[in-house]
Amino acid sequence: MKYRVFTSLFACISLSALAQTGNIRGTIQTSDGQPAEFVNAGLKGTSKGVSANSRGEYEIKNISPGNYILVTSFIGLETKETPVEVKAGETTLVPEIVLKENSYTLNEVVISETKDKSYKNEISTLASKTPIALKDIPQSVSYVTKELIQDQQAFRITDIIKNVSGINQESISGDYMIRGFITGSNVMINGMRINKGWTPELISNMERIEVIKGANSALYGYSDPGGTINRVTKKPLAEQRQGMSFALGSFNTARTEADITGPMDNDKTLLYRVNLAYQDAGSFRDLQESKNCLIAPSASFVPNNKTRIDVDLVYNSINARVDRGQPLLGTVKGQAALESTPISQIATYSNSFNKEQGLSLMSSISHKISEKITFNTSFINHKYERDYLEHRFNNIYGVDSSGNELPALLDMRLQRGVTKNISFNSMSYLNITVKTGPIEHKLLAGYDHVRLHTPFGGWSTALTGGFRNAANKGAIATYDPKKKSDYLLDKNGNPVPNMPYFDLANPNYTPQDISSYFTRVTSTAASLYYANGIYVQDHIKFGKLQMLLGLRQEFYTDFLNYKKTTEKKVEQTAYIPRVGLVFSLLKNLNLYGTYVEGFQPQSAGVIGDPVIYGGPFDPLISNMIEGGIKSEWFNKKLTVNTAIYRIELNNVLVNAMDVSNPDLLEQRGQEVSKGVEVDMIGKILPNLLVSANYAYSNAIITKSDDPELVSTGKEYTPDQMGGLWIRYNFTKEKINGLGLSVGTSFVSEQTTNLNLYGDLILPGHTVFDGGIYYKINKVQLAFNMNNLADVKYWIGRGRATTVNPGTPRNAMFKIAYVL
């Protein structure tokens, strides 16, 4: 009886409390009549707020009676304020709200939260520094959103490039070929350039990865000829959200991630976000354990709808070993060489290590001066340090007393050192929108500054020679069988190497005493380069025709023998044009064409260490002609883009294949790449998501000092490659929350660098992946399996003695909690 009385009393009190509050309900649409999915609806000055569902519906409950201002907002749409009155015990129905597209949404270089919670994205200022819809940009732009990254349980960029057409992974350490041309030593974060590290970093703080195809020098100066990869970081949100996940997988892999964001004050003018990630992973490769850490806090100040200030801090830590690939036995040529050793085998020792740390401080300010003028400025300061000890192989095998090759014994070298560099990049520009009669102009004018400084204090240790002298007190660079008496010989009469050979037939990873080698220590040369650029651009729209005109003046300065008495300043300048046309054939279909030029200085300062890499080199000069079709389907839920291109690159940098220095580079004349690409991404049905890509390319050497290379195919450029990923979410009541995915990627055969045993051909391969997902309230479960058929395959960069094997079958299980 007491229990019933208590329950009744509690129910009465609860109903009485609820009667003192009211609700707000309504719908939101975009100006084209589509539901405004996931738009934020909140009461100004309070913490009350929700996101609209897929039908544009929202409801805010348990509001104290009174008069309020309902704020509806989202990136890419205008912000609207609507007065509402809340009455006790009633639900106020708000008239339908229609939001127009806002072409000058603040800070869209670092846009956070895609409007459509799928794999699709609509805007990227990387390609224009002006908020133009992707379909209106006269150049191919691909991307991978965080939703696709999460569905594939990707942790590094190397895990997701298969989703982008025309990109081929060229090395285990994160080098890529884009449209047949290798990416350089720079990477971009939020549209700003820094020098990249050796090992790919974790991407848990990334909103999406963007790739603009072809050079983008008219806006950024230094630009890779095949394309630019830009990392867009997550930004603080005005809505409180928390998420945490734990994952376990193959090769003793353990991961954890956390993402926490929300407002710090009632007015939601101060916002914060913290992304954390840690991975402790093994590998199918011997001695390739690694520990990776990411700490990425950020804050935003949004005092009104005209101004936004963002500050990001990103710290990365990597503790691993360098992987130079699978070594091959030298007596087997061609395809059979790939099977001469296990794909797990590596040629190094267990006391090798590679420790890297990166710290970036970024800030950006966007201010809307008027309805027609917006000012943006941002900077990044990045410090990178590396401490490493590597026992690595040269591109040759051991020799016997007669100088004949010993195919099971790899000639080794020592690399021990400490490196550091500091990157700084700032950019400031104005966006101005004007009309001259029926013609609309989106004008851009800006200034960029970038510098890379390698300070004093770096050093490296290397062997003084390849073979020990007869007295065993020094080393000689090469072995001459005619002068055997000059060398220390073993019991079989063979010359004794300065550093012991690595035995491929009987691998031994026991730590080596590096103090027993004959070495020399060299200070890393300090270096500095900086560049300044001024640029203008006009995006013109007249009816169905759009034109993009851009011009940049680049001033590049590099120092040879920096801080020495023989210091010499080297200056280069370049005018860099860009012209593009877009014609709207139909409402959902645009035709486009473009011409761009690329400028990429390759001096001692850019390379970082002329003793190792060579240089200075002439700048890379490129040009590209591209045309294509961009279309939208299923109420803009799905995009299908097709591009045809031709890229010409002069002064190409390639590996010199120098036996004494495997990293030495050299330049050759000219290369030309032609191809076709198709990208499809978005939703075919409300519960069917797809990401698909295909690329055909023909990259050849057109000019070279070696006439035999002319008209031959370029290395690491497969003729065809592509990928597909489909996710289906079940919606029936009994299995609602269940999702299935399947994916595949393929690469046709490709040649590697010309090596000591002729052209090594990497066979084509097709890999299948899959996943299953289940969501129970706020708990999400995911199980992914990659390389379902356990296909053995190899990716790019095979040197004279090594190749890079792909990962065999592997699985990952994740449990996540999301508020």
pLDDT of residue 110: 44
Do 90 and 216 belong to one domain? Answer: no
Of 198, 231, 264, the position where a domain reaches its end is 231
CA distances from 578 to 74, 130, 219, 430, 738 (A): 32, 15, 9, 19, 47
CA distances from 756 to 248, 324, 665, 779 (A): 42, 17, 17, 55
| Domain membership flag for residue 41 | yes
| Domain membership flag for residue 430 | no
CB 464 within 8 A of CB 520: yes
Of 165, 200, 231, the position where a domain reaches its end is 231
Q: Using CA atoms of 41, 43, 45, 51 in order, give the dihedral in degrees to the nearest 10.
A: -30
| Domain membership flag for residue 438 | no
pLDDT of residue 76: 62
CB 365 within 8 A of CB 378: yes
| Domain membership flag for residue 496 | no
Q: Using CA atoms of 276, 280, 282, 288 in order, give the dihedral in degrees to the nearest 10.
A: 80
What is the spatial distance between Cα 333 and Cα 335, in angstroms, rounded to a whole number? Answer: 7
Do 49 and 161 belong to one domain? Answer: no
What is the spatial distance between Cα 586 and Cα 228, in angstroms, rounded to a whole number? Answer: 30
- CATH number of the domain at 163, please: 2.170.130.10
- CATH number of the domain at 742, please: 2.40.170.20
What is the spatial distance between Cα 247 and Cα 816, in angstroms, rounded to a whole number? Answer: 9
Q: What percent of the chain has pLDDT over 90?
A: 62
| Domain membership flag for residue 386 | yes
Do 138 and 32 belong to one domain? Answer: no
What is the three-class DSSP state of 392?
Answer: strand
Number of domains in the chain: 3
Question: Which of 5, 366, 421, 26 lies closest to 186 in space, CA to CA?
Answer: 421
| Domain membership flag for residue 290 | yes
Domain that holds residue 745: 232-421+443-461+521-818
| Domain membership flag for residue 254 | yes
Do 208 and 161 belong to one domain? Answer: yes
pLDDT of residue 130: 87
Q: Residue holding tokens 């935003």?
A: 300
pLDDT of residue 331: 57
CB 379 within 8 A of CB 425: yes
Do 200 and 257 belong to one domain? Answer: no
Do 140 and 184 belong to one domain? Answer: yes
Do 51 and 145 belong to one domain? Answer: no
CA within 13 Å, CB half, 309: 4
Parts of the chain with a pLDDT under 50:
2-3, 5-7, 9-18, 103-112, 114-115, 332-336, 604-608, 754-757
| Domain membership flag for residue 492 | no
What is the spatial distance between Cα 406 and Cα 329, in angstroms, rounded to a whole number? Answer: 9
pLDDT of residue 4: 52
pLDDT of residue 613: 67
Of 39, 66, 99, the position where a domain reaches its end is 99
DSSP H helix total and E strand total for the chain: 5, 48
**Exposure b/e, 766-786, CB count within 10 A at least 16 = b:** ebbbbbebebeeeebebbbbb
Do 112 and 61 belong to one domain? Answer: no
Do 75 and 146 belong to one domain? Answer: no
Do 649 and 526 belong to one domain? Answer: yes
Question: Which of 556, 580, 547, 546 lies closest to 216 in space, CA to CA?
Answer: 580
Do 246 and 181 belong to one domain? Answer: no
| Structure-block tokens of residue 209 | 């990865």
What is the spatial distance between Cα 147 and Cα 421, in angstroms, rounded to a whole number? Answer: 33
Do 365 and 334 belong to one domain? Answer: yes
